[in-house]
Structure 1
Amino acid sequence: MSIIELLKIEFMKVKRSMILPLLLIPPILVVVSGVFSISMYMTPEYTNAWSAMFIQSALLFGYYLLPFSMVVVCVMIANRETKNNGILKMFALPISKGKLALTKFFVLLSFLAIQLLIFSLSFVIAGFIATKIMNVTESIPVLYLLTWTLKLFTTMIPAISCMWAITILFEKPMLSMGLNLLLIIPGVLVANTPLWIVYPYCYSGYVVSNALHTVTATDTGSTLSLFPFIPCAVIISVFAICVSIKYFGRKEMS
C-alpha cells in the first residue's frame, strides 16, 4: 500500500472529526484582532499597511495560537488511533510501521497547511475591509503574503516533529498535551536568548519578530542568518521524526 493510499485512508478517518472546525478558530480570531488594532493607526498616507497588519497578526499566531492548535491536532490524531483499537487494525494490514508513522506525520503537515491557508485568506479579507474603511490605497501584496505563508509553514515543521514525537512517547493525552504546552509557553523568552536556535517551539515566532523592524520607518532588512539555523532545524526535525517512527505503536506491538 502506497503513502498516497494511506493518506486517503487517514483523511477519511478525520473527515467527521472536530479537527477542521478547530483549525478555523485561531487564525480568524488573531487576524481580526491584529488587523483591527493596527488599522486604528492608519491614515490614507500610511505606508506598508499590509505588512504592518500581517506582522501584528502573525506575532501571536506564530508564537502561540498556531503551536497550541497543532498540539491539539496531534493529540486528536493519536487518540483516534487508540480508540476502538484502530491502530491494531492498521497493523493487521501489510504495511510497515515506519510508513504508517510517516503517513500520520504527513497528515499533520497537511493540517498545518490548511490552517495557514485559512490564516492567509482571513487576513486578506479582514485587511481588505480595513484598508477600504481607512481609505488606504496600497494594493494587496500577494507575493509577500505567499512568501510569509511558506515561511511559517517551513519554520513550524521542526516544532511539529517534536510535538508528534512527544505525543507518541507519552501515550496519555493529557500528559503529552501538557508537556507540549509547557514547551510552547516560554517560546517568547527563549527567542530573546542565543538558545533560540535549538528551541524549535519558538522558530515561527522568532522569524516574525525578526521581521518587525522591516515595517518601521528605519527598515534595515532582516538580520536572520540562515546558518546555522537551517542545519539545526533539519537535524532536530529528522531526529524527532526518527523517534516517532521508532516508538510508534510500541505498546500495541509489544
Structure 2
Amino acid sequence: MKEILTVEKLKLKRSKIWILYILGPLIGVMLAYTNFYNNYELFVQPGDNEWIEAWTQVAIFMGPFVLPIMVGVYAAFVCRSEHVSGGWKQLLALPVQRTKIFLGKFLITATMIAVTLFIVLILFLGFGLVKGINGDLPMLTLIGYCIKGFLACLPLMLLQLIISIRSKTFGIPLAVSIVFTLPAIIVASTPLGQIYPWTQPMLAMSPVDESPIESYFTFYTLLSILSIALLYFGIRNFAKRDIL
C-alpha cells in the first residue's frame, strides 16, 4: 500500500493540481465573507460570536457548491493518467491486488480533501483576523467543523471515484459533479438532504443552530452506512472488472 500511495503522489506532482488547493478555498472563503459583511446586521445579533456566524457562510458556499465540485475534480485527476495511453492495462497487469489500487486512489483523494479543508480554515482565520472579527476565536469548534466536513465528504469521494474509474474522459465525472451540485442547496432543507452526498458536507460543517439536521445520530449513522456500502461496491466492482 505504501508503494501504491507513493506512485499516486508522483503522478499528481506532474499536474498543476496545487492551483485548485488554493483557488477553490479562496473562492469559497471570499464569497462567504462578502455575503457575511453585506448582510452583517441580518446575521449578527447581540450575543452572537462573529466567528461562528461568518463560518456559517463558509459552510453554505463551500459545503454544497465548491467542495463537491472539487471532490469530483480530484477523483478524476487520480484516474486521469490511467485513462491515457492504456494506463489501466499497465497498472492492472502488475502483481498488485486491485483492492489496494482502489484503496490507494481513495486515500489520495481523501488526502487532497483534507488538505483543501485545512487551507479553507487557514484562509478563513487569515481573512477574519485582517477584518478584525469580534468575539473569542473558537479554534477547536472550527477544527471540529472541518473534521465533520471531511467525514461527510467520504460517500461523495467514493461515488466520484467509482464514476471516474469507469469514465474514460475527464469531463464526465466533472459534469456529474456540477449537475448534482446545482440542486444541493434546495435538497439540503428536505429529509433527502441527509442521504444526498452533495449536501452532506454542508450539513456537517454548519453550526448546530443553523443546520437542518434533526438527529445527528441518524445523520452520522446514514453517513457511515452509505460510506461502507459505496466502499464495498467500489472495491467489488473494480476487482471484478476486466482490464480496462
The two structures share one fold, judged by TM-score above 0.5 = yes
Query: 1:70 aligns to what?
Result: 71
Q: CA deviation at 1:129?
A: 0.5
Q: Is the contact made by 2:164 and 2:173 (CA closer than 8 Å) also made in structure 1?
A: yes
Counterpart CA distance in 2 for 1:26 and 1:71 is 12
With normalisation by structure 1, the TM-score equals 0.84
TM-superposition CA deviations, 1:33-77 (whole Å, max 9, x none): 32243245379x874011111111221100110001111111122
On the 8 A contact 2:146/2:205 being kept in 1, the answer is no
Q: Which residue number in structure 2 is paired with residue 195 of structure 1?
A: 192
* 1:161 pairs with 2:158: yes
Conserved 8 A contact 1:162-1:237: no
Contact 1:59–1:205, Cα closer than 8 Å, also in 2: yes
* TM-score (normalizing by structure 2): 0.87
Listed as ranges, the matches of 1:52-131 within 5 Å are: 52-131=53-132
Change (3 A) 1:131 1:34: same
Query: Alpha-carbon deviation of 1:212?
Result: 5.0
Aligned residues: 240
**How many Å apart are 1:224 and its aligned residue?**
3.6
- Provide the aligned C-alpha RMSD in A: 2.5
Aligned-partner residue type, residue 29 of structure 1: I
Unaligned runs of 5+ in 1: 215-221
Q: Give deviations 1:193-232, integer Å, cap 9, x for gaps.
A: 1222321221112234563548xxxxxxx85413322222
Bigger radius of gyration among the two: 1
Hey, what does 1:219 align to over in structure 2? none
Distance 1:57 1:200, change over 3 A: same
Are the structure 2 counterparts of residues 139 and 227 from structure 1 closer, same or farther at C-alpha, using a change threshold of 3 Å?
A: closer
Secondary structure of 1:17 counterpart = coil
What is the match of residue 217 of structure 1?
none
Per the alignment, in what secondary structure is the counterpart of residue 199 of structure 2?
helix
Instruction: Extract structure 1 runs of 4+ deviating beyond 6 A.
Output: none
Which of 203, 206, 209 is the aligned partner of 2:203?
206
Partner Cα distance (1:82, 1:65) in 2: 25
Question: Structure 2: which 5+ residue stretches go unaligned?
Answer: none
Contact kept, 8 Å, 2:71 with 2:157, in 1: the verdict is yes
- Corresponding residue for residue 22 of structure 2: 24
